[in-house]
Amino acid sequence: MTEHELMICRCEEVTYKELIETASEYGCSARELKLRTRAGMGYCGGRTCRALVDKVTRDLEKDNRSQITLKYQPPIRPISFGNLGGESNE
């Protein structure tokens, strides 16, 4: 496997090659790269790939001062206080 075949976002199946090609073609910020490729928009909310998507855009961008990184948003699942404390609701 070459580095271009490396899977960066497992949830959305986005490869390193796809990130590089998209960022080079459109001159993307990290946010735009995320929207164009869906990297970081999967089930995990970008916990595994966010830093790598930021790095790709940072490495390709000429002026790093204007770089806006992706925010971290963990997946949220509602849970009742009873379930959290181990008590039944009955």
pLDDT confidence of residue 45: 83
In tens, the pLDDT along 71-86 reads 655 556 666 777 767 6
In tens, the pLDDT along 13-68 reads 999 999 999 988 988 888 888 899 999 888 888 888 888 888 888 887 765 545 55
pLDDT confidence of residue 8: 92
- Give a three-class secondary structure readout of the chain: CCHHHCEEECCCCEEHHHHHHHHHHHCCCHHHHHHHHCCCCCCCCCCCCHHHHHHHHHHHCCCHHHCCCCCCCCCCCCCCHHHHHCCCCC
pLDDT confidence of residue 83: 73
